[in-house]
C-alpha cells in the first residue's frame, strides 16, 4: 500500500488535525464520513473542519469504504465496537481498518474480531499524546499483522509510528496504564485549583508545588490539563472508566482510576465545550470562573 486511499470514520478534532497535516505533507484524496453530517447542530462544524483540512466528505460509511482502502476509525470510544459492526458489511480483503479510539484491550480485540471476520485486516492504534499539540506527527503505537504496511504507507508523510507487535490489546494497555498517571494528574489539578480558588490562592499553591517538583511549569500544566477536561471531559472520563474496567479484569481494585474518572466527568458536565467554542481556554482560571458562574 504505497499510495493509500485514506479515509476517516469520524471527523472530530483528532481526525481533522491529522488529515490536515497529511495533506500538507502531500497525501492527496483524503476522505471522511462523520455521523454529525446528519445532525443539524454539528453539521456546520464537520463541514468547516473538512474545508480547512482539504478533505472530501463522504455521504455514508458505505460511500467512504467504497473509495478507500485504509480507513481510520476516530469516533468516541463508547461507540467504537458498534461503528466497526456498522462498517463490517462494506469491508473486504482490500481494506485495512485501523482503530485509534481510547478503549480497553478487550474492546480493541472485539473490534479486531469484527474486522477480520469481514475479510479485512485490523490494526490497533493508540494515540500517545495530545493531537492538537503534535498534529499528524503525534506519537502512535500500533499492533497487528498489517502494522508494517501501514507504517510504510504513512511514515513518508510524517507520521510517527511504533510497531508494538502482532498481538492485539498491547497498544491499548500501554495507553490505558499511562492514563492512570496523566488523567490522574488532570483530576488532582482540577480539584486542587477548584478548592484553592475559593481562597484566591491557586497561583500560590501551584508555585509551592513547583518548589517541591521543579522543572515543570505547574500553572501551564494546570491550564493545559484542566482545559482538556473542559473541552473533552465526557470522552476523557469514559476513557478512565475503561481503565477502571481493565484493572478490575486484572484483579486490581481501580481506586485511583475510578476517582479520576468521577472528577473528570464532573468537570466535563458543565457544557464548557460550547462556552469556549471548542477551543482550549487561555487559563485554568477561565475554567474555574465558568464553573462558578454555572453553579451560581
pLDDT of 180 over the 90 cut: yes
pLDDT of 167 over the 70 cut: yes
In whole angstroms, give the CA distance from residue 30 to residue 8: 8
- Please check whether residue 224 lies inside any domain of the structure: yes
Does one domain contain both 249 and 290? yes
Query: Among residues of the chain, what percentage have pLDDT more than 70?
Result: 99
Does one domain contain both 122 and 209? no
The CATH number given to whatever domain includes residue 45 is: 3.40.50.720
Does one domain contain both 148 and 61? yes
Mean pLDDT for 146-161 is 97
- Please check whether residue 280 lies inside any domain of the structure: yes
Does one domain contain both 218 and 236? yes
Does one domain contain both 188 and 97? no
- Please check whether residue 163 lies inside any domain of the structure: yes
* Domain count of the fold of the chain: 2
pLDDT of 296 over the 80 cut: no
The band of 78, judged by pLDDT with boundaries at 50, 70 and 90, is: confident
* DSSP-assigned letter for residue 58: P
pLDDT of 273 over the 60 cut: yes
Least Cα distance to 230 among 274, 197, 165 occurs for 274
Among 167, 183, 213, give the residue marking a domain's end. 167
Does one domain contain both 132 and 64? yes
- Please check whether residue 146 lies inside any domain of the structure: yes
Does one domain contain both 106 and 161? yes
Among 167, 182, 211, give the residue marking a domain's end. 167
Query: Among residues of the chain, what percentage have pLDDT more than 90?
Result: 92
Model pTM? 0.87
Supply the Cα-derived Rg of the chain in whole angstroms.
Answer: 20
Residue 103 sits in which domain range?
6-167
Inter-CA distances, 289 with 28, 147, 268, 272, 293, Å:
43, 45, 14, 11, 6
- Please check whether residue 1 lies inside any domain of the structure: no
Does one domain contain both 83 and 117? yes
- Provide CB contacts within 8 A for 80, sequence distance 6+: 73, 99, 101, 103, 107, 111
The CATH number given to whatever domain includes residue 264 is: 1.10.1040.10
pLDDT of 217 over the 50 cut: yes
Does one domain contain both 56 and 126? yes
Per DSSP, which regions of 210-264 are E strands?
Answer: none
The band of 1, judged by pLDDT with boundaries at 50, 70 and 90, is: very low
Q: Identify the pLDDT of residue 279.
A: 86
pLDDT of 244 over the 60 cut: yes
Mean pLDDT for 267-274 is 93
- Please check whether residue 17 lies inside any domain of the structure: yes
Q: Identify the pLDDT of residue 189.
A: 98
Does one domain contain both 112 and 230? no
Does one domain contain both 98 and 218? no
Does one domain contain both 23 and 65? yes
Q: Answer yes or no: are the C-beta atoms of 5 and 68 closer than 8 Å.
A: yes
- Please check whether residue 54 lies inside any domain of the structure: yes
Q: Identify the pLDDT of residue 2.
A: 58
Among 114, 137, 167, give the residue marking a domain's end. 167
Amino acid at each position: 500500500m504505497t499510495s493509500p486511499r485514506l479515509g476517516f470514520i469520524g471527523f472530530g478534532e483528532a481526525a481533522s488535525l491529522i488529515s490536515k497535516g497529511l495533506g500538507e505533507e502531500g497525501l492527496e484524496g483524503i476522505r471522511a464520513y462523520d455521523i454529525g453530517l446528519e445532525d443539524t447542530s454539528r453539521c456546520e462544524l464537520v463541514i468547516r473542519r473538512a474545508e480547512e483540512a482539504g478533505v472530501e466528505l463522504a455521504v455514508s460509511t458505505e460511500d467512504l469504504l467504497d473509495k478507500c482502502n485504509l480507513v481510520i476509525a476516530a469516533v468516541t470510544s463508547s461507540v467504537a465496537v458498534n461503528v466497526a459492526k456498522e462498517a463490517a458489511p462494506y469491508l473486504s480483503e482490500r481494506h485495512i481498518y485501523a482503530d485509534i479510539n481510547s478503549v480497553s484491550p478487550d474492546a480493541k480485540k472485539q473490534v479486531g474480531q469484527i474486522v477480520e471476520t469481514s475479510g479485512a485486516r485490523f490494526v490497533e492504534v493508540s494515540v500517545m499524546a495530545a493531537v492538537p499539540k503534535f498534529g499528524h506527527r503525534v506519537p502512535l503505537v500500533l499492533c497487528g499483522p498489517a502494522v508494517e504496511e501501514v507504517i510504510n504507507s504513512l511514515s513518508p508523510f510524517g507520521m510517527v509510528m511504533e510497531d508494538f507487535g502482532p498481538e492485539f490489546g498491547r497498544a491499548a494497555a500501554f495507553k490505558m496504564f499511562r492514563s492512570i498517571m496523566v488523567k490522574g494528574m488532570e483530576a488532582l489539578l482540577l480539584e486542587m485549583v477548584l478548592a484553592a480558588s475559593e481562597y484566591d490562592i491557586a497561583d500560590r499553591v501551584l508555585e509551592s508545588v513547583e518548589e517541591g517538583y521543579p522543572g515543570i511549569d505547574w500553572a501551564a500544566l494546570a491550564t493545559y490539563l484542566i482545559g482538556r477536561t473542559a473541552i473533552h471531559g465526557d470522552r476523557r472520563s469514559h476513557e478512565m472508566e475503561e481503565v477502571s474496567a481493565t484493572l478490575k479484569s486484572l484483579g486490581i481494585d481501580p481506586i485511583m482510576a475510578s476517582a479520576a474518572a468521577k472528577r473528570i466527568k464532573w468537570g466535563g458536565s458543565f457544557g464548557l465545550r460550547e462556552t469556549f467554542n471548542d477551543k482550549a481556554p487561555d487559563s485554568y482560571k477561565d475554567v474555574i470562573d465558568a464553573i462558578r458562574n454555572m453553579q451560581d
